[in-house]
Amino acid sequence: MDDLHLPPTSLTPEVAWIPRQGLLTMRGESYPENVLSFYAPILERMSSVLESGSLTMLNVEMHITYYNSASAKAFHRIFHMLNQAAEKGCAIKLHWNYDEEDDMARDLGKDIHEDFPAIHFVDCPLAAA
């Protein structure tokens, strides 16, 4: 019931939020015209589960091949919320996947790692195809 599945589009990533299995996946590209209207419902859905305290563990898989600046802000919000849940005892692991030549994604991962220390951050550079 709490699950959320959004298929990928040319402007938005595939999103899968499956709290029963402790899983959040975001894959693809992110540059919708209105970033807030895409991410706000996702944040809302996540926050209701996280605030209930029922989630004990979460594995996050991120692989965003291109994101615009407004999307970076949205990711920061998501990890801010997850960091708060982690501080309250939820074991959260983040696999930050990016193409190894993508400096922007590598740096954003570094920022998220430093800003949200309660999340177990796993740096995952991928060899260029």
Partner 1 sequence: MQLERFNQFFSNASAQGVVFYHSGRMDEETVAAIGALLRLRLREEGANGVESRKVFSTFMEMAQNILHYAAVHEAEDGPVGRFGALSVARAETGFVVMCGNYMPTDQVPRVRERLESVQGMAPESVRLAYRKRLASDEDDPDSKGAGLGLLTMAASAKAPIEFAFEPGTPAEDGRTFLFLKALI
- Least Å distance, CB 43 to partner 1, is 14
DSSP 18: E
Instruction: With contacts defined by CB under 8 A, name the span among 37-45, 54-62, 82-90, 100-108 that binds partner 1.
Output: 100-108
Residues 3, 44, 51, 101: which binds partner 1 (CB under 8 A)?
101
Assigned token pair, 108? 């954003």
Q: Which of 31, 27, 4 is nearest to 17 (CA)?
A: 4
The verdict on 104 binding partner 1 (CB under 8 A) reads yes
- Least Å distance, CB 28 to partner 1, is 13
Residues 44, 51, 107, 123: which binds partner 1 (CB under 8 A)?
107
- Least Å distance, CB 27 to partner 1, is 17
Contact 67, 30 (CB under 8 A): yes
Instruction: With contacts defined by CB under 8 A, name the span among 27-35, 40-48, 85-93, 117-125 that binds partner 1.
Output: 27-35
DSSP 33: S
Sign, CA dihedral 14-56-77-1, equals positive
- Least Å distance, CB 106 to partner 1, is 12
Pairing of strands 23-30, 14-18: antiparallel
SS3 24: strand
> Which positions from 60 through 79 interact with partner 1, judged by CB under 8 A?
66, 68-70, 72-73, 76
